[in-house]
């Protein structure tokens, strides 16, 4: 009898615990495809399951009614209610939306050192680009930077220069003055702040998301970016097993093949991920812009317990690409919009004066330490080893052009042979191709301690240290028919412009030509942030300080007294910022932030940049002073999201260098020389309004989004300037003065608008389009024209370039072939083939890229 009663109680308890089954299917709301391996958990319990290959799930639940919580990497978490009927509930297709507002789920490791806006409740002006957007619109023969162009105050320029030669502007500030971080690691050059996107050619394949923080941002690091901070969060070690293979083709014989595989997390806590690809094309758009490269990523993760997790990652993108520079409008009119003045033929094959080649492996080791439920420590050790450079010509031998404007390199070889004695050419009579090499080693550490001091208080404390050594020299690349080249000594060895060989095969000190010097930069910084937040309001304060030392070592100067190491220059910098927000209702909120920055100058601004001169710039270049103010409004409900921001940034004591070419003798057209104009005390004021919105109806049949930026960016006041002959190092102007008050800042449009529409035609089939308008675009500041205007009693204004519009379109189709999941994606850029000027510099104009296209097929397994 007792045994019978026990069985009855057990059965009753089991029945009470397991009331029935909830089932359904998870779908991508944008693209219509199934979402495998998503987590489905009965809300408030540990009872859960994962979706199968086709997105289906079936979960035994313990109550007749309740809800399930669904999470999937890169998608918004959904909570779906259910009520059982006869012990079952079929929820049908459940649409999951790509998460454009949060990045928490895509950050697997290093969460403490990656400065995400969501880590702080006080808002900033921020936009997020998801992996889905990157993979669909910015892969293949399109610059990675194009993934960011449909956000406020972002402008992408110079795409016609060649693969990886684009530039990006944020609120009118170039990428030199915007901080770019990869998993929390700074990737701007520490010498001059530049970002060479060709070195990161594979980023579109490994990026999980991009968060663009305009202006003050939420960065806790001791970096003082002027335009903002762009966080690129890469793929690391995936916890789920799977992979994909993709083939992509585009205009001008572009081809790319990519393969990726993840082992998933094993019972012992290990996981491995690998990605490799290869791409090539005979040109990007303009003539003579061929390119080729590879991309690799290897990542291993180890999670021994819930307290510690480790991840090691190494990635690189060796590449070479031929380059196209600006030309006059008259030149384009004569030779066509795809004309490239650097290219021609040699022995029947396309050849160029200008080829960029580089290989920059980057490695980092992340350690996340969950000290307790309120305290976390994240640390990353990183290193990069850059090898490579860019080619150009060396020697005063003649350049012969053919009737189509291209260079006759066969004639160059013939002229070299005729002018050489015993096969040895001289600098004055022959012409060879050299390579300007930039080899560097960069090591660093970032660490951040995060403390939830109470329900309302949070504190962050961090440290940032970097060691950098760079070698700069020139070496002979192609003797062009000669046996040797004499320039102070005879050079007979050639070194290929090859990104793989450049890792180990480059000229030793005795075989370097024109210049040879090194630069050392040491950096240490600390930061602290405190925030108080309730459901209704939040306030924060943040401060950072850093010290940098700069030193050069000259090895090439003909005067032994000028060789050796320079004096060590040290500069101290800091930033202080704070802000507050107020939640008016659950849907409406406002915020305001303010900050002051004292930013150290770049090394290239401290020293006279003349082939490694140890001489300091005179007058001494001091810290740049930046003051930023911003405010914003946020609205969000289940269908509509609206962000509006206003800002004002004043950038004082700025150092600016602009290249140009002038005639040293106005009566002699052959007296043209390259010069550098240096401005030592410029003030810029950038102010404006930005907005963006996204709307999706309950039917989820389409998604409409848009953005706008209205800016007023001007120079203010007088600035001293000097002009230097780059060939000789001699000063042409030593103590000039220019009044730039009211002059518009160029290179990026001060007004831009855009709208995008995505329509789901049926399950798996989606079409989309983006329309962008750019206006108020100005050229560079020409000192010669400023002087002439002043002499005539007129106020100088930079050239205003024509406004233009662009239309892009795309199609995505997700389907299954047998048991295999397939995705087809097609893109057409500049659909109407609109001609436009993209940018102007001292040497001419960059025309925009006409209609281009690509298509890809991806197999997921």
Residues 6 or more apart whose CB falls under 8 angstroms from that of 341 comprise: 325, 327, 331, 405, 407
Per-residue pLDDT band at 265 (split at 50, 70, 90): confident
Most confident of 51-65, 188-202, 421-435, 697-711: 421-435
| Number of domain units in the chain | 2
Is residue 340 scored above 70 in pLDDT?
A: yes
> What's the pLDDT tens digit per position in 195-213?
989 888 788 888 888 888 8
- Tell the residue number behind the tokens 């979706």, with chain if given: 51
Strands 407-408 and 343-346 turn out to be parallel
- Contact by Cβ (8 Å): 380, 183: yes
**Strand ranges inside 395-489, DSSP E:** 407-408, 424-426, 432-452, 457-478, 484-486
**CA–CA separation, 23 vs 40, rounded Å?**
10
Matching residue, tokens 């800016």:
711
Rounded Cα distance, 690 and 59, in Å: 45
Is it the case that residue 108 has pLDDT exceeding 60?
A: no
pTM confidence score: 0.87
> Looking at the predicted structure, is the pLDDT value of residue 10 above 50?
no
CATH number at residue 81: 2.60.40.10
CA–CA separation, 221 and 84 (whole Å):
51
Percent of the chain's residues with pLDDT above 70? 92
pLDDT of residue 115: 62
Structure tokens at 813: 């189709």
Q: Is residue 811 part of a domain?
A: yes
Decide if 525 contacts 221 (C-beta within 8 A): yes
DSSP assignment string, 309-322:
EEEEEEEE--EEEE
Give how far Cα 150 sits from Cα of 129, 154, 316, Å. Answer: 9, 7, 27
Contact 211, 128 (CB under 8 A): yes
Please write the tens of the pLDDT for every residue from 801-857.
999 999 999 999 988 888 788 999 999 999 999 999 999 988 899 999 999 999 999
Enter the tokens of residue 171: 């609120």
pLDDT in the model for residue 570: 95
Would 560 be classed as within a structural domain? yes
Paired with 356 in beta bridges are 321, 390
pLDDT of residue 107: 47
What is the average per-residue pLDDT within 139-155?
91
CA nearest neighbour of 165 among 150, 154, 175, 151:
175
Looking at every residue in the chain, the average pLDDT score rounds to: 88
Kindly list the distances between the CA atom of residue 112 and the CA atoms of 62, 71, 115, 116, 303, in Å, as whole numbers in the listed order. Answer: 37, 22, 7, 9, 17
Helices (H) and strands (E) in the chain, counts: 7, 52
Look at residue 348 and tell me if it is in a domain.
yes
Alpha helices of 156-268 — where are they, by DSSP H?
203-206
Task: Please return the burial class of 429, using the count of CB atoms within 10 Å of its CB with bins 0-12, 13-18 and 19+.
Answer: middle
Domain boundary among 96, 113, 128: 96
Q: Confirm whether 216 is domain-assigned.
A: no
Tokens of 760: 């789901």
838: in domain: yes
Spell out the alpha helix ranges (H) of 342-439. 409-419
Which of 51, 78, 96 represents a domain boundary (last residue)? 96
Residues in the chain: 861
Q: What are phi and psi of 28, to 5 degrees?
A: -75, 120
**pLDDT surpassing 60 at residue 103:** no
Region 285-292: mean pLDDT is: 96
Query: d(Cα 778, Cα 797) in Å, to the nearest integer?
Result: 9
Residues 6+ apart with CB under 8 A from 703: 30, 694, 695, 696, 757, 758
Does residue 53 form part of some domain? yes
254: domain CATH number is: 2.40.170.20
In a domain, 628, yes or no: yes
- The residue with tokens 């990069």 is 384
**Contact by Cβ (8 Å): 217, 228:** yes
Instruction: Please check whether residue 731 lies inside any domain of the structure.
Output: yes
**pLDDT the model gives residue 12:** 44
Strand order in the sheet with 484-486: 424-426, 484-486, 490-491
Q: What band does 649 get if pLDDT is binned at 50, 70 and 90? A: very high
> Over 90: is that where the pLDDT of 284 sits?
yes
737-779 confidence digits (pLDDT tens): 888 889 999 999 999 999 999 999 988 899 999 999 999 999 9
In the chain, pLDDT over 90 holds for what percent of residues? 56
Q: Can you tell me the mean pLDDT for 257-275? A: 90
Domain containing residue 302: 242-860
Q: Residues 381-398, buried b or exposed e (16+ Cβ, 10 A)? A: bbbbbbbbbbbbbbbebe
According to the model, what pLDDT value does residue 15 have? 42
**Which of 73, 96, 119 is the C-terminal boundary of a domain?**
96
């Amino acid at each position: 009898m007792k045994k019978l009663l026990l069985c009855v109680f057990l059965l009753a308890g089991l029945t009470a615990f397991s009331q029935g089954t909830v089932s359904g299917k998870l779908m991508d709301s944008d693209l219509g495809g199934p979402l495998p391996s998503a987590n489905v958990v009965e809300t408030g319990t540990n009872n859960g399951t994962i979706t199968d290959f086709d997105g289906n799930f079936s979960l035994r639940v313990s109550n007749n009614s309740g809800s399930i919580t669904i999470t999937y990497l890169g998608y918004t978490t959904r909570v779906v209610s259910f009520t059982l009927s006869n012990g079952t509930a079929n929820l049908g297709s459940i649409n999951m939306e790509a998460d454009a507002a949060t990045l928490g789920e895509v950050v697997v490791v290093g969460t403490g050192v990656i400065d995400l806006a969501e880590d702080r409740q006080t808002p900033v002006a921020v936009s997020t680009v998801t992996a889905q957007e990157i993979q669909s619109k910015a892969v293949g023969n399109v610059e990675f930077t194009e993934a960011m162009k449909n956000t406020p105050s972002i402008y992408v320029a110079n795409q016609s220069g060649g693969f990886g030669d684009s530039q990006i502007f944020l609120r009118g500030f170039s990428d030199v003055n915007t901080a770019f971080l990869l998993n929390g690691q700074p990737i701007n050059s520490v010498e001059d702040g530049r970002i060479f996107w060709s070195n990161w050619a594979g980023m579109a394949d490994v990026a999980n998301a991009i968060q663009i923080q305009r202006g003050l941002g939420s960065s806790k690091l001791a970096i003082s970016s002027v335009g903002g901070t762009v966080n690129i969060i890469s793929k690391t070690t995936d916890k789920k097993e799977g992979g994909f293979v993709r083939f992509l083709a585009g205009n001008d014989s572009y081809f790319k093949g990519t393969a990726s595989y993840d082992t998933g997390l094993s019972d012992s806590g290990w996981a491995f991920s690998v990605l490799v690809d290869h791409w090539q094309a005979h040109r990007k758009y303009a003539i003579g812009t061929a390119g080729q490269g590879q991309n690799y990523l290897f990542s291993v993760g180890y999670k021994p317990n819930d307290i510690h997790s480790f991840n090691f990652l190494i990635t690189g993108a060796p590449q070479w690409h031929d380059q196209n520079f600006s030309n006059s409008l008259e030149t384009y009119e004569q030779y066509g919009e795809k004309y490239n003045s650097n290219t021609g033929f040699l022995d029947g094959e396309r050849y160029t004066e200008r080829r960029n080649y580089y290989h920059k492996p980057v490695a980092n080791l992340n350690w996340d330490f969950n000290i307790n439920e309120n305290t976390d420590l994240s640390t990353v050790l990183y290193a990069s080893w850059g090898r490579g450079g860019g080619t150009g010509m060396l020697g005063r031998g003649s350049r012969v052009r053919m009737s189509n404007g291209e260079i006759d390199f066969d004639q160059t070889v013939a002229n070299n042979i005729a002018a050489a004695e015993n096969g040895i050419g001289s600098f004055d009579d022959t012409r060879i191709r050299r390579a300007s090499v930039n080899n560097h080693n960069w090591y660093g550490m970032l660490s951040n301690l995060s403390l939830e001091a109470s329900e309302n208080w949070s504190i962050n404390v961090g440290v940032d240290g970097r060691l950098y050594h760079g070698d700069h020299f020139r070496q002979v690349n192609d003797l062009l028919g000669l046996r040797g080249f004499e320039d102070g000594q005879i050079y007979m060895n050639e070194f290929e412009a090859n990104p793989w060989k450049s890792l180990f095969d480059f000229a030793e000190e005795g075989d370097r030509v024109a210049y040879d010097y090194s630069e050392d930069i040491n950096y240490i910084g600390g930061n602290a942030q405190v925030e108080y937040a309730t459901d209704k309001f939040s306030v924060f304060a943040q401060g950072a300080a850093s010290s940098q030392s700069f030193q050069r070592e000259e090895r090439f100067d003909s005067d032994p007294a000028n060789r050796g190491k320079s004096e060590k220059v040290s500069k101290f910098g800091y930033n202080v910022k704070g802000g507050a927000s107020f939640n008016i209702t659950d849907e409406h909120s406002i915020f305001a932030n303010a900050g002051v920055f004292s930013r150290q100058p770049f090394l290239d601004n401290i020293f006279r940049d003349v082939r490694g001169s140890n001489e300091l710039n005179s007058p001494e270049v001091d810290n740049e002073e930046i003051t930023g103010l911003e405010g914003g409004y946020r609205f969000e409900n289940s269908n509509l999201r609206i962000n509006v921001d206003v800002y004002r940034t004043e950038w004082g004591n700025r150092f600016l260098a602009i290249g140009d070419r002038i005639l040293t003798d106005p009566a002699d057209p052959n007296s043209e020389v390259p010069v550098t104009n240096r401005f030592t005390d410029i003030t810029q004021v950038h102010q404006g309004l930005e907005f963006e919105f996204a709307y999706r109806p309950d039917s989820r049949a389409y998604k409409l989004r848009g953005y706008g930026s209205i800016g007023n960016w001007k120079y203010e006041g007088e600035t001293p300037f000097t002009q230097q002959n780059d060939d000789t190092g001699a000063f042409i102007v030593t103590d000039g003065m220019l009044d730039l008050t009211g002059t518009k800042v160029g290179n990026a449009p001060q007004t831009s608008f855009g709208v995008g529409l995505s329509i789901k035609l049926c399950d798996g089939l989606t079409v989309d389009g983006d329309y962008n308008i750019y206006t108020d675009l100005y050229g560079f500041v020409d000192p010669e024209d400023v002087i002439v205007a002043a002499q005539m009693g007129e106020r100088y204004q930079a050239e205003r370039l024509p406004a233009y519009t662009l239309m892009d379109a795309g199609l995505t189709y997700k389907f299954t072939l047998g048991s295999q999941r397939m995705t087809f994606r097609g893109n057409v850029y500049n659909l109407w083939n609109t001609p436009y000027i993209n940018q102007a510099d001292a040497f001419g104009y960059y025309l925009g890229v006409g209609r281009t296209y690509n298509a890809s097929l991806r197999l997921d397994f």
